[in-house]
């Protein structure tokens, strides 16, 4: 296998890695799989979202999120600088477009871990993106994961389960499905899909 330059020379279009989007129902383990994969393969670039919510203890600007004001988010949206954005619990989240395109242009594999709504928006703006659906081993297992924390009110759990049914029904919209039976196995399968081998 020939060595590749890490300079600024663009990679030929046919050799360029595609953007890979990982999505799936809440509670399926997306963050756990991505964290495991990046621990073993830190060269896979995970896009950092912009958000209007305040940082939680230990979160760093530019590492966990780009923390922006409502006015800054308005400008990002108005100027078309986000690949996708959505609102959750009164805060907005979005994927900065330029950083993703720059990494792809330089030949680096790029991974987005976003919700179903975001995945659909990415498909609209970048039809060549590879959409990967992370599925639970079974509905019962997903219910166990969503209810297992024991920290949420029954009505919140009901809402999350209803949303999970909708998210599971969207599986056919994705290019590939990975079943999360083992974090290590799924991380390895995801890596094979993300990387240009």
Domains identified in the chain, total number: 1
28 is in an annotated binding site: yes
Whose CA is closest to 106, among 5, 197, 25?
Answer: 5
21 is in an annotated binding site: no
Query: What's the predicted TM-score (pTM) here?
Result: 0.82
Which pLDDT score is estimated for 15? 53
Give the list of residues 6+ apart from residue 127 with CB closer than 8 angstroms, or none. Answer: none
The answer on pLDDT for 115 being more than 90 is no
The answer to whether residue 6 is domain-embedded is no
The answer to whether residue 103 is domain-embedded is yes
27 is in an annotated binding site: yes
55 is in an annotated binding site: no
- CATH number of 174's domain: 3.40.50.300
30 is in an annotated binding site: yes
23 is in an annotated binding site: no
Q: What is the pLDDT of residues 46-60, one digit of tens each?
A: 999 999 999 988 889
Q: What is the pLDDT of residues 144-190, one digit of tens each?
A: 888 876 667 888 788 888 889 999 999 999 999 999 999 999 999 99
107 is in an annotated binding site: no
What is the domain range of residue 52? 17-194
The answer on pLDDT for 8 being more than 70 is no
The answer to whether residue 10 is domain-embedded is no
């Amino acid at each position: 296998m020939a060595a590749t330059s890490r300079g600024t020379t663009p990679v030929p279009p046919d050799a360029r890695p595609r953007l890979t989007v990982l999505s799936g129902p809440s509670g399926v383990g997306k963050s756990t799989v991505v964290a495991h994969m990046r621990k073993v393969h830190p060269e896979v670039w995970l896009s950092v979202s912009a958000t209007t919510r305040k940082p939680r203890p230990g979160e760093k600007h530019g590492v966990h999120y780009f923390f922006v004001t409502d006015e800054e988010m308005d400008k990002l949206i108005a100027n078309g600088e986000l690949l996708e954005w959505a609102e959750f619990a009164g805060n907005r989240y979005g994927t900065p477009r330029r950083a993703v395109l720059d990494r792809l242009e330089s030949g680096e594999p790029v991974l987005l871990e976003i919700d179903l709504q975001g995945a659909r928006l990415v498909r609209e703006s970048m039809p060549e993106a590879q959409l990967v659906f992370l599925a639970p081993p079974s509905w019962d297992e997903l219910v166990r994961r969503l209810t297992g924390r024991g920290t949420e009110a029954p009505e919140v759990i009901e809402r999350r389960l209803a949303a999970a049914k909708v998210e599971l029904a969207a599986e056919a919209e994705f290019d590939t499905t990975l079943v999360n039976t083992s974090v290590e196995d799924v991380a390895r399968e995801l890596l094979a899909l993300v990387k240009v081998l």
